[in-house]
């Protein structure tokens, strides 16, 4: 299946809103909507907490907003989790862990060009969640294989639910932690990560891809067998030309790129306008054309999004909402220009 392209709009899921209706309205304003993750609404809506549901060994304190792990608790609870391994609904996001997801599933979304879901990826989850010795569980050879299988089940059941609402549904694996595996001190290197992520992708259904607001080794990332990748172009515009070959190869073998172009943080948002952001996009694309990529192919395999998630603006959701509006206007302008 070819994912939609042609400079339609989508976005990453984490949003600063505390009102579910407003967040959903904003997400639904885009061509390819998604269910928002709202950690400011409550801690269950945090992306790591949502991924942790039913994971053995987790110690969740909603009041203190902490997520920890106990090795003893993991082994004590593992058999209980394994007893549910053939029950897909056990691995879905419950209503307790997302007030938004089930509202989204209740909408009529079949006429949209696509819809999207997401789950925190095993590398990022494993880096973030730490055991009783303050050690990331990703470094634990007993826990890590189970972590990959567990998250694959969670991805698959969500994608199945979304495809019931729209045949073109796809999933993002959120992996901000991928930028840290190239640090010699990380305790989990890129060689092992490549091997285990390749296996992870064999366990999850298509369409599948990765989103991260960061700067990994793009040759490494774009080499995976996935259908779509979300790139923060606004922040990484000076770096990405170094990876033109990998970007072109990814697109030519059928991949779709989500170009994150509209900043959501107040300061960069205020200094940019539609003209400067279009120039940023077109300068990046021209470098790919000059390296041999067909223009029509690139446009057909391109979506547009905000550059990053943002939870830290003092105006809360105001600038983020405006960034979504600016993204829609930018997309309409470019689609008119290129007759898409």
Residue 201 resides in a domain: yes
Task: At 14, give phi and psi (nearest 5°).
Answer: -70, 125
36 and 46 Cβ atoms separated by less than 8 Å: no
What pLDDT shows up at residue 312? 87
How is residue 41 written in tokens? 């609404």
Q: Which domain holds residue 250?
A: 8-337
Residue 182 resides in a domain: yes
Residue 22 resides in a domain: yes
Residue 1 resides in a domain: no
134 and 70 Cβ atoms separated by less than 8 Å: no
In terms of Cα–Cα distance, which of 147, 210, 125, 218 is closest to 179?
A: 218
User: Hey, is 306 helix, strand or coil?
Assistant: strand
Instruction: Supply the CATH number for residue 197's domain.
Output: 3.20.20.210
DSSP lists the bridge partners of residue 302 as 257
What pLDDT shows up at residue 57? 98
What pLDDT shows up at residue 186? 64
The pTM of the full predicted model, rounded to 2 decimals, is: 0.95
What residues contact 180, with CB distance under 8 A and at least 6 apart?
127, 186
What pLDDT shows up at residue 291? 97
Question: In order along the chain (340 residues), what is the average pLDDT of each group of 10 residues?
Answer: 91 95 97 97 96 98 97 97 96 95 96 97 96 96 96 98 97 91 74 94 96 88 96 94 96 97 95 97 97 97 95 93 97 98
Residue 331 resides in a domain: yes
Structurally, the chain folds into a number of domains equal to 1
Residue 2 resides in a domain: no
CA torsion through residues 125, 128, 131, 133, sign: positive
What pLDDT shows up at residue 181? 84
Q: Which residues of 124-133 are buried (b: 16+ CB within 10 A; e: fewer)?
A: bbbbbbbbee
What pLDDT shows up at residue 184? 57
Quickly list DSSP for 129-177.
-B-TTS-BGGG-TTTHHHHHHHHHHHHHHHHHHHHHH-TT-EEEEE-GG
269 and 263 Cβ atoms separated by less than 8 Å: yes
């Amino acid at each position: 299946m070819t994912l939609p392209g042609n400079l339609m709009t989508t976005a990453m899921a984490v949003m600063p809103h505390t009102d579910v209706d407003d967040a959903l309205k904003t997400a639904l304003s885009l061509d390819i909507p998604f269910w928002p993750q709202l950690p400011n609404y409550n801690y269950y809506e945090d992306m790591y907490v949502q991924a942790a549901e039913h994971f053995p060994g987790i110690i969740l304190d909603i009041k203190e907003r902490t997520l920890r792990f106990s090795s003893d608790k993991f082994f004590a609870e593992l058999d209980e989790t394994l007893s549910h391994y053939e029950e897909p609904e056990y691995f879905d996001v419950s209503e307790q862990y997302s007030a938004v997801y089930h509202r989204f599933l209740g909408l009529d979304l079949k006429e949209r060009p696509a819809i999207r879901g997401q789950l925190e990826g095993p590398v990022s989850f494993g880096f973030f969640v730490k055991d009783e010795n303050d050690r990331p569980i990703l470094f634990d050879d007993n826990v890590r294989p189970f972590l990959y299988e567990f998250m694959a089940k969670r991805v698959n059941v969500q994608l199945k639910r979304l495809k019931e609402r729209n045949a073109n549904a796809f999933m993002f694996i959120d992996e901000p932690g991928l930028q840290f595996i190239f640090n010699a001190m990380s305790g989990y290197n890129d060689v092992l990560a490549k091997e285990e992520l390749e296996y992870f992708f064999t366990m999850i259904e298509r369409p599948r891809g990765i989103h991260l607001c960061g700067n990994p080794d793009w040759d490494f990332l774009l080499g995976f067998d996935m259908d779509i990748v979300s790139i923060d172009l606004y922040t990484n515009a000076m770096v990405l030309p170094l990876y033109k070959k990998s970007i072109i190869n990814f697109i030519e073998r059928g991949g779709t790129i989500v170009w994150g172009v509209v900043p959501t943080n107040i300061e960069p948002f205020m200094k940019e306008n539609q003209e400067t952001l279009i120039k940023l996009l077109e300068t990046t694309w021209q470098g790919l054309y000059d390296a041999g990529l067909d223009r029509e192919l690139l446009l057909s395999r391109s979506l547009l999004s905000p550059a990053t998630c943002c939870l830290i603006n003092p105006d809360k959701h105001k600038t983020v909402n405006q960034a979504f509006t600016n993204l829609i206007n930018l997309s309409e302008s470019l689609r008119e220009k290129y007759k898409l």
